[in-house]
Amino acid sequence: MTVSITDVARAAGVSASTVSRALRGRPGVSDEVRAQIAAVAAELGYTASRSASSLASGRTYTIGVVAPYIGRWFFGTVLDAAEQILSAAGYDVLLYNLGSPEARKRFFTKLPVRKRVDAVLSLLIPDPEETDALLSLGVPLATTVGGARDGFVVVGIDDRAGAESAVRHLVNLGHRRIGMISGASGPLHWTTPIDRRQAYLDVLADAGIPHDPALEADGGYTVEGGEQAMTELLAGSRPPTAVFAQSDEMAMGALRALRRHRLRVPDDVSVVGFDDHELAEVIGLTTVAQPVAGQGAEAARLLLRRLDEPDAELPGHVQMPIRLVLRETTAPPSPRGPQ
Amino acid sequence: MTVSITDVARAAGVSASTVSRALRGRPGVSDEVRAQIAAVAAELGYTASRSASSLASGRTYTIGVVAPYIGRWFFGTVLDAAEQILSAAGYDVLLYNLGSPEARKRFFTKLPVRKRVDAVLSLLIPDPEETDALLSLGVPLATTVGGARDGFVVVGIDDRAGAESAVRHLVNLGHRRIGMISGASGPLHWTTPIDRRQAYLDVLADAGIPHDPALEADGGYTVEGGEQAMTELLAGSRPPTAVFAQSDEMAMGALRALRRHRLRVPDDVSVVGFDDHELAEVIGLTTVAQPVAGQGAEAARLLLRRLDEPDAELPGHVQMPIRLVLRETTAPPSPRGPQ
DNA sequence: AATCTGAACGCAAACGCTTGCGCAACAACG
DNA sequence: CGTTGTTGCGCAAGCGTTTGCGTTCAGATT
């Protein structure tokens, strides 16, 4: 059988309570006894049962992370970084992958994290009901996606500023027919596509360029969607000479579509993305870099602080820096235009 | 406060044991009482405390997944698929990200999964000591990487056959100077690079092509490594006309190096990868496809079966199908050769 | 010398569930 | 009508910790 705390207590000639206090660094144990107990515990290979300890103490030392598709680069990277911080602090990570509607529904109705986690990091945008469910857990909450929400500490970026720098870059290069591939069909309450679009409109207006709805297409934040969207844009009567894709994945899809149409990048069409995907550099994609791993780490750190000192005043909203990374997919428009 | 099983019992006018049996579908409860209890539980929003239930029953309904870098596509995809299967079966997933040596050491010495999980899925190659640590947990183990190991159910692919098909494809196209970018510097006990290299040697021998050590380079299974390796190969006196990269990520690095050298793919140099990375299609990379998500799902399923019927005879080793996917990075050698 | 003080430790009661066992009540049997 | 099974349910003993409180005892204080 596995060794329990009473085994250690017996072997060390003390009571179980003393073992518990000694091993967790609680006061009320003399240094020599503490050392003795530590030695015995190590020799016996004792590890406290988490179930028992969290049942007794109410603390679980576990943090739940809910995410859509962890397979996608963005979420995987955030998760990766968050996990490192959390596990270094002695917390375990319970992962819930809510890609499918069924999984999502199951999670929010059964709420398996109830009484199982000390905090939750959400990488998805909960609708109002789901938000209530999370709040009902009564534990600290954090998110790295979407805008401010009550009860959550959210770490994110300035989507407006990021999109502005991307579009302005195209304008400065001399482009005037600038298309956008967005992700309008995402979940509600997700402000990112809206903010980025607004920045796009603002920059155009600022440059005195009239807005042409035919230059907007929905790419659904996927590679395939980006490819379709670009194809749509190219089918128009006056296709764009430059495109701002709201994510690198959509930008990659756009690049693929352009290649299929035998258009050269950036000679015929410029493309700028958003995210700085790990492969953006490989492809040479000009993009707006955001610290994805940094956001996961920061969110994790904020949760930990909140657990350590529950009533400390913490910022409810943290903005991480962004920057435009110039690579090889943007250039001044060709004098002849595309086609 | 949160509602406990006794609250439900009181509200339903029965004992706690009956509630427990009713809610978990155990026999010994009449249908009407069971329905009554279910209704009351639903109304009160009751969810059993996992800590308490696993303390009492010994079952945790939790499965540990250990992985290096979940940020990388391969691991993220396997994890994603495995999580879906497991959570659909009512299991939670505890994630351990063991990318850094410290995290890895911490995990295997403290072994935080002890008494916390019913099974472990390992996406990394444990060394002998680590293997012992895992075995000492006394729970079913599975892995999707590396070759057969005692005590593990391993689901994988036929690395030899996969690499053979890739190299043979290049030979059939007429190439005779075929390079390889491998990952020799990986962890010990990892047979994949060895198997794939052996296949490379076999096919060359079979085709009567002498082996030239100058055509092999180490890419460490990363994009950057692949780029460096390709650069090395191009620096040789007689560079290859085709390259087999042991992973798509290395192949992408190689493509980048080739672009930097102003060499065209596939006109000047052909490249074939391994994995069928999600972006391989976007890039048009010819590669050996393996069912990555499929392997994660299959491993999860096998673990579940083992938990359901502990002494059923299960296959210790499952081979998943592979296939060569022809895209746009391979072609017959140019009559003039590269440079 | 009598009293007071901490520090160090043990006792025992939770924490919320599971499960073996016992005990009714009732049906079916000879 | 007594006996033997079944079925449905409650009792109570755990599961392995944590923690408030009580006890002991050495040393400091009157």
Does residue A329 lie in a domain region? Answer: no
Q: Residue A287: inside a domain, yes or no?
A: yes
Under the banding of pLDDT at 50, 70 and 90, the label for residue A302 is: very high
pLDDT for A177 beyond 80: yes
Quick check: B217 CB within 7 A of strand D? no
Q: Model confidence over A96-124: pLDDT tens digits?
A: 999 889 999 989 988 888 889 999 999 99
CATH number, domain at A218? 3.40.50.2300
Residues from chain A that touch B57, judged by Cβ atoms under 8 A, are none
A42 near B CB under 8 A: no
Judgement on whether residues A149 and A166 belong to the same structural domain of the protein: no
User: Are B328 and B270 contacting, i.e. CB atoms less than 8 angstroms apart?
Assistant: no
**For the ranges A326-335, B12-21, B181-190, which has the lowest average pLDDT?**
B181-190
B329 vs A: CB within 8 A: no
- Assess whether B6 (CB) lies less than 7 A from strand D: no
pLDDT surpassing 60 at residue B145: yes
- What is the nearest nucleotide to B7, using C1' and CA? C16
Which pLDDT score is estimated for B213? 95
pLDDT digits 0-9 by tens, B268-306: 999 999 999 988 988 899 999 999 999 999 999 999 999
At residue A339 the predicted structure's pLDDT band, cuts being 50, 70 and 90, is very low
Tell me the one-letter amino acid at A321: P
Interchain contact A54–B (C-beta under 8 A)? yes
Q: Which of A129, A130, A139, A128 is nearest to A91 (CA)?
A: A139
pLDDT exceeds 80 at position A312: no
Taken as a whole, chain A contains a residue count of 339
> Which residues of chain A make contact with B112, given a CB cutoff of 8 A?
47, 50, 92
CA–CA separation, B190 and B200 (whole Å): 17
Residues B211 and B284 in one domain: yes
- For residues B103 and A88, give the distance between their C-alpha atoms in angstroms, rounded to a whole number: 7
Regarding whether B190 and B44 lie in a shared domain, the answer is no
CB A223, CB A250: distance < 8 Å: yes
| Residue carrying structure tokens 């998805």 | A124
The enclosing domain of B12 has a CATH number of 1.10.260.40
Q: Which residue range(s) make up the domain with A134?
A: 62-157+292-320
Beta strands, E only, A92-201:
92-97, 119-122, 141-143, 152-157, 178-182
* Chain A residues within 8 A of B73 when measuring between CB atoms: 71, 73, 76
| Residue B1 confidence class, pLDDT cut points 50, 70, 90 | low
How many CB atoms are closer than 10 A to CB B53? 18
- Encoded tokens for A184: 């309008």
Residues B39 and B139 in one domain: no
Verify that A171 and A282 share a domain, yes or no. yes
Which residues of chain B are within 8 Å of residue A114 when distances are taken between CB atoms? 2, 47
Backbone φ and ψ for A161, nearest 5 degrees, come out as -60, -40
Q: Say if CB A330 and CB A90 are below 8 A apart.
A: no
Give helix A31-44 / helix A5-12 axis angle, nearest 10°. Answer: 120
Domain boundary residue among B274, B291, B308?
A: B291
H or E element, residue B324: strand B323-325
**What is the distance in angstroms measured between the alpha-carbon CA of B109 and the sugar C1' of D18?**
24
Number of H helices, E strands in chain B: 13, 12
A285 and A297 fall within a common domain: no
One domain for residues B153 and B168: no
- Give the residue among A324, A325, A305 at the shortest CA–CA distance from A314: A305
Q: What's the CA gap between A161 and A75, in Å, rounded?
A: 22
Instruction: Give the pair of three-digit tokens for residue B127.
Output: 């060394």
Q: How far A193 CA sits from the closest chain B CA (Å)?
A: 23
Whether residues B71 and A73 touch (CB distance < 8 A) is answered with yes
pLDDT of amino acid B188: 65
Instruction: Compute CA distances B50 → A50, A133, B4, whole Å.
Output: 11, 18, 12
Residue B32 burial by Cβ neighbours in a 10 Å radius (0-12, 13-18, 19+): exposed
A18 CB neighbours strand C below 7 A: yes
- pLDDT for position A187: 66
Asked whether residue B335 is assigned to any structural domain, the reply reads: no
Q: How far is the C-alpha of A274 from the C-alpha of A243, rounded, in Å?
A: 12
Instruction: Looking at the structure, tell me whether residues A140 and A190 fall in a common domain.
Output: no
* Mean pLDDT computed over every residue of chain B: 92
Name the DSSP letter for residue A244.
E
How far from A298 is each of A88, A131, A223, B171, CA to CA, in Å?
14, 21, 28, 50
Average pLDDT over every residue of A45-71:
92
Assign A338 a pLDDT band (cuts: 50, 70, 90): very low
For residue B74, list chain A residues with Cβ-Cβ distance below 8 A: none
Average pLDDT, chain A: 92
Q: Are residues A209 and A153 in the same domain?
A: no
Assign residue B93 a region (left: φ > 0; alpha: ψ between -120 and 50; beta: otherwise).
beta
Q: Is B75 helix (H, G, I), strand (E, B) or coil?
A: helix
Domain assignment of residue A339, yes or no? no
Angstrom distance, A15 CA to D18 C1': 13
| pLDDT tens per residue across span B226-249 | 999 999 999 999 999 999 999 999
Chain A residues 217-256 with CB within 8 Å of chain B: 223, 252-253, 255-256
- Tally of domains in chain B: 3
Asked if pLDDT for residue A337 goes beyond 60, the answer is no
For B96, phi then psi, to 5°, come to -125, 120
Nearest alpha carbon to residue B95 among B110, B113, B81, B108: B113
Residue A188, pLDDT score: 65
Q: Are residues A140 and A167 in the same domain?
A: no
Whether B292 and chain A come into contact, CB under 8 Å, resolves to no
Classify residue B284: in a domain, yes or no: yes
In a domain, A242, yes or no: yes
Percent of chain A surpassing pLDDT 90: 76
* Structure-token pair, residue A65: 């992370």
How confident is the model at residue B112, as a pLDDT?
A: 86
Q: Is residue B331 part of a domain?
A: no
Average pLDDT over residues B95-104: 92
- Identify whether residues B74 and B147 lie together within a single domain: yes
Instruction: Select from A83, A87, A97 the Cβ nearest to the Cβ of B80.
Output: A97
DSSP output for B287-311: EEE--HHHHHHHHHHHHHHHHHSTT
* Within a domain: B55: no
Nearest to A71 by CA among A222, A181, A290, A182: A222
Decide if pLDDT at A185 tops 70.
Answer: no
- pLDDT tens for residues A210-243? 999 999 999 999 899 999 999 999 999 999 999 9
Same domain, residue pair B253 and B143: no
Cα B110 to chain centroid distance, Å, stands at 24
pLDDT band for position A1 (cuts 50, 70, 90): low
User: Can you tell me whether residue A243 is helix, strand or coil?
Assistant: strand
Which residues in A250-326 belong to E strands, given as ranges? 270-275, 286-289, 317-320, 323-325
Please name which of A306, A244, A331 lies closest in space to residue A120, comparing C-alpha atoms: A306
What confidence score (pLDDT) does residue B338 get? 47
Q: How far apart are CA B120 and CA B134, in angstroms?
A: 8
Strand C closer than 7 A to residue A56 Cβ: yes
Nucleotides of D under 7 A from a protein CB: 7-12, 14-21
Read off the amino acid at residue A140: P
| pLDDT band of A336, cuts 50, 70, 90 | low
Distance of C1' in D14 from CA in B46, Å: 24
Per the structure, the residues numbered 54 to 93 in protein chain B that have their CB within 7 angstroms of any atom of strand D are 55-56
Check CB contact under 8 Å for A293 and B71.
yes
Minimum distance, in Å, between the CA of residue B207 and any CA atom of chain A: 34
